[in-house]
Structure 1
Amino acid sequence: MRTAHRVETVRAAETRLMDRLPDGALMARAATGLATAAAELLRRVYGSRVCLLVGSGDNGGDTLHAGAALARRGAGVSAVLLSPGRAHAGGLAALRAAGGLVLEAPEAAGESEVPGEVTRRVREADLVLDGIVGIGGKGGLRPVAARLARTAYEGRPAILAVDLPSGIDADSGEVNGDAVRADATVTFGTYKPGLLIDPGREHVGALRLVPIGIEPGAPDLEALQYADVAALLPVPGVESDKYRRGVVGIAAGSTRYPGAPVLAVTGALRGGAGAVRYAGSAADAVTARHPETLVSSGLPSEAGRVQAWVVGPGLGDGDEARAALDDVLATDVPLLMDADALSLAGPDRIRARTAPTLLTPHAGEAARLLGADRADVEARRLDAVRALADRLGATVLLKGSTTLIADPGGTSPVRVNATGTSWLATAGAGDVLSGLAGSLLATGLPPREAASAAAHLHGLAARRAAGGGRGGAPITAYDVAEAIPGAWRDVREG
């Protein structure tokens, strides 16, 4: 499992460790790991051209010491100081002693006054190290730094970010202005939330953790890996039957949206439960595609016993939809609410539920529930998912390029999942996810675990369906559902 910690926690852990180590030992560990990663990116260090973009403080010190190590191995290293008066003295001395060249491009001088020699060194480098701003930085890049980043993009050297790409908020992933887009990022001690959450994650590139010995304690964010998800997935025992495995109910669909329940049922049938009951107006469409489904055209409570309900996909907002929602809200079994159910129910009725409840909004639905702008939710996804879980007293899976899962109360780390692909932005994909997660709820998983496993499998299935790799091909929601068994096997087999 990947775990991430806020800047405040990291700083405290570093201070505790530095009190026990010789002066400079912690920076030496970080710089060694950074230099190793840089050498691997270069492949051949001797004779290569490396340019360091150096801000103030320890982040700049890490960068300068790593540059000195590369210079001692025969690289031609130049450092561009953006805050010459505040550059790390020890790192600067080490670079000069190793034969590195030091140039200045002070932020205060203005973008138009960047020396030509500086831009040439950046443009012609084989590798640029982004040591402009450390994990405590706020806001976007200042004009001179932004210009140097653009110069690097023009010259197309590899860009390696130090701890995190400059311009990204380490705690939230927010990008407020210009930010470095790195090919790779080396982070120290522990992951930071902003490295794993969009929009910041899009700037990170390949992510590498360098252990430096800190012990930050309980994480603020965690990302499940294959082994973690495999441990959650239900496996039938020799005495299992379809009812012991769990039955999930799907209350979905309307005349306007007859396909949504088909997709939700398709996801549910592949989610580990032993049987799926469907209640709604699309019974014929559901049984035409999945004759194994137990269907009913009446109220959900008339469909038979279930261990969990999914309500909302394609439900509409008519009288039948409201009756179905009221019926399901009155049950005492775990409930997943998606799509139309979120707006029809409203915050008060969601908050009034005492049985386990899982909500699966996209950013627009989350914004309506929070009374916020969608752009604000997308920019500050971590804050939004925490606020929504607390406000509604339910587990929330906030859909998006990085899916976030939060329990109310803030006692558990937020979960982040990034197994998807951009091809997953297709109509009906959320319906499949709802069915899959609801099925896992019916097997007995708590909402947080069901949501985590479902998001992971859903993203892997989309990658499989799209063909993997950097490109892939367009897919439909049904393609994703069909690929879930293969993704399940991949996870179980490691």
Structure 2
Amino acid sequence: MRTAYSVETVRAAERKLMAELPEGALMQRAAAGLAAACAGLLGRTSGTRIVLLVGSGDNGGDALYAGARLARRGAAVTAVLLAPDRAHPGGTEALRAAGGRTVDGPSAADPARVMAGARLVLDGIVGIGGRGGLRPDARIWAQAAREAGARVVAVDLPSGVEAGTGEVAGEAVHADATVTFGTYKPGLLVDPAAGRAGALRLVDIGLAPHLPEQPDLEALQHADVAALLPVPAAESDKYRRGVVGVVAGSARYPGAAVLAVAGAFGGGAGAVRYVGPAADAVIARFPETLVHAGPPHKAGRVQAWVVGPGLGDGPDARRALDDVLDSDVPVLVDADGLRLLDGDRVGARRAATLLTPHAGEAAALLGASREDVEARRLDSVRRLAGEFRASVLLKGSTTLVADGTGGPVRVNPTGTGWLATAGSGDVLSGLTGSLLAAGLGVVDAGSAAAYLHGLAARFAAGHGGAPVRASQVARALPAAWRSVRG
């Protein structure tokens, strides 16, 4: 599992660690790991041209000391000092002593000439304390690096992104890889900043003993998801495996019901009960489904409900939602159900509730703009969970799951742009509901389902990627399940 901590937590841990070490030792640890990572990326260091973009803080010092190590390995290293009077003095001296050279960034006449022939550019402009986008001088050099075609490696995080939130308030470096120190930062895992970080490499600098037990963010990996997924035992029957109820679809949107049921079967439910007007379409595709005309409370025993996909906004839809919310089992509310939602009623429920909005639906619930939600995804999911006193799965380029109690926010790493297709959210709802019915908690069910869902989309899209339909994502769920467990 990847874990991330807030900027304040990281700074406090660094202060404690530095108090135990000789002066400058922590920076040397970071520089050694950074240099090793860069050498690994290059394959051959000797004779390679490397350019360092150096700001005024410790981030620039890390880049300078790493540059000195690479210069001693035979690399031709040039450091562009964007604040010459405030560049780290020890790092600057070490680079020059190792045979590297420095350039005054603000007065350099031709950044393209400095970058010419560079195979690697180290972004050491701004560290975790940076706010706002890149300053004009830095923008010029970052653009020159991209135009030169060099591989850009960010030091700790791409300059210009917000380390603690994942926001990007202006221009930011687009890195091919990021070498981060001690622990991941939220901005490396949450879009839009995560989309600028490239491949992530974590360097251990001894910070772990000084970090709290509970992180701010968690990103599951295969082993974590495998440990969560329910596996039937020899004595299992369909009720022990979980029965999920699906209230979805309408005369206008029968496909939403079919896709939600498909996701539910892909999540390993022992049985799926469907309640709604699309029973014929559901049975035609999944004859195993138990169907009922409604109301939901008369449909039979379930361990969790999914309500909302394609439900419409008429009085029948509202009555169905209210009926489900009156139950004493976990409830997932999606799509049309979110538009009909009464926040006070959700907060008063004793059983768990999981809301699964996309950015547009989240914006409507928060009274904000879609653009604001997408720019501040981490803040938005926490606000939603707090205001509705429910768990929230915020879908999107980075799917986030928050429980509203101050626990770690889960970040899904398997998402892909190919999931931006009609009906994919319906599949995710059914899949998540199935895991809820199997007994997983809301955060575990939401994050495991998002992981499988993203993986299934990648399998369906194939090597290199290709357009996929939501039904293809549903059919790929067993392969995703096997991949995780295998």
Give the shorter-chain TM-score range: over 0.9
Secondary structure at the aligned position of 1:277 is classed as strand
Gaps of 5+ in 1: 107-112
After superposition, where does 1:55-70 map in structure 2 within 5 Å? 55-70=55-70
Which residue in the other structure is 2:362 paired with? 366
1:428 aligns with 2:436: no
Displacement, 1:114?
4.1
Secondary structure at the aligned position of 2:268 is classed as coil
Judge conservation of contact 1:123–1:156 (CA < 8 Å) in 2: no
Could you state the TM-score of these two structures normalised by the residue count of structure 1?
0.97
Which residue in the other structure is 1:179 paired with? 172
1:260 aligns with 2:256: yes
1:115 aligns with 2:109: yes
Judge conservation of contact 1:346–1:369 (CA < 8 Å) in 2: no
* 1:228 aligned to which of 216, 224, 229: 224
Measure, in 2, the Cα distance between the counterparts of 1:272 and 1:140.
46
Question: Once superposed, what is the RMSD of the aligned Cα atoms?
Answer: 0.9
Measure, in 1, the Cα distance between the counterparts of 2:55 and 2:319.
61
Displacement, 1:190?
0.2
Secondary structure at the aligned position of 2:202 is classed as strand
Displacement, 1:420?
1.9
* 1:401 aligned to which of 397, 400, 417: 397
* 1:200 aligned to which of 193, 211, 229: 193
Q: Residue 64 of structure 2 aligns to which amino acid in structure 1?
A: L
Identity %: 69
Measure, in 1, the Cα distance between the counterparts of 2:362 and 2:150.
40
1:251 aligns with 2:217: no
Judge conservation of contact 2:265–2:434 (CA < 8 Å) in 1: yes
Displacement, 1:124?
2.8
Which residue in the other structure is 1:14 paired with? 14
1:156 aligns with 2:156: no
Q: Residue 185 of structure 2 aligns to which amino acid in structure 1?
A: K
Measure, in 2, the Cα distance between the counterparts of 1:123 and 1:197.
33
Judge conservation of contact 2:112–2:148 (CA < 8 Å) in 1: no
* 1:440 aligned to which of 418, 431, 435: 435
Measure, in 1, the Cα distance between the counterparts of 2:22 and 2:54.
24
Which residue in the other structure is 1:312 paired with? 308
Measure, in 1, the Cα distance between the counterparts of 2:263 and 2:132.
41
Secondary structure at the aligned position of 2:200 is classed as strand
Measure, in 1, the Cα distance between the counterparts of 2:104 and 2:344.
58
After superposition, where does 1:315-330 map in structure 2 within 5 Å? 315-330=311-326
Secondary structure at the aligned position of 2:411 is classed as strand
1:416 aligns with 2:411: yes
Measure, in 1, the Cα distance between the counterparts of 2:217 and 2:413.
13
After superposition, where does 1:90-109 map in structure 2 within 5 Å? 90-106=90-106
Q: Which moved further from structure 2: 217-226 or 433-442?
A: 217-226
Could you state the TM-score of these two structures normalised by the residue count of structure 2?
0.98
Secondary structure at the aligned position of 1:320 is classed as helix
Judge conservation of contact 2:220–2:413 (CA < 8 Å) in 1: no
Measure, in 2, the Cα distance between the counterparts of 1:348 and 1:122.
59
1:485 aligns with 2:481: no
Judge conservation of contact 1:244–1:274 (CA < 8 Å) in 2: yes
Aligned residue pair count = 483
Judge conservation of contact 1:30–1:62 (CA < 8 Å) in 2: yes
Measure, in 2, the Cα distance between the counterparts of 1:43 and 1:353.
58
Which residue in the other structure is 2:350 paired with? 354
Displacement, 1:125?
1.0
Secondary structure at the aligned position of 2:240 is classed as coil
Which residue in the other structure is 1:79 paired with? 79
Which residue in the other structure is 1:451 paired with? 446
Judge conservation of contact 1:123–1:154 (CA < 8 Å) in 2: no
1:127 aligns with 2:120: yes
After TM superposition, the runs of 4+ consecutive aligned structure 1 residues lying more than 3 A away are none
After superposition, where does 1:263-274 map in structure 2 within 5 Å? 263-274=259-270
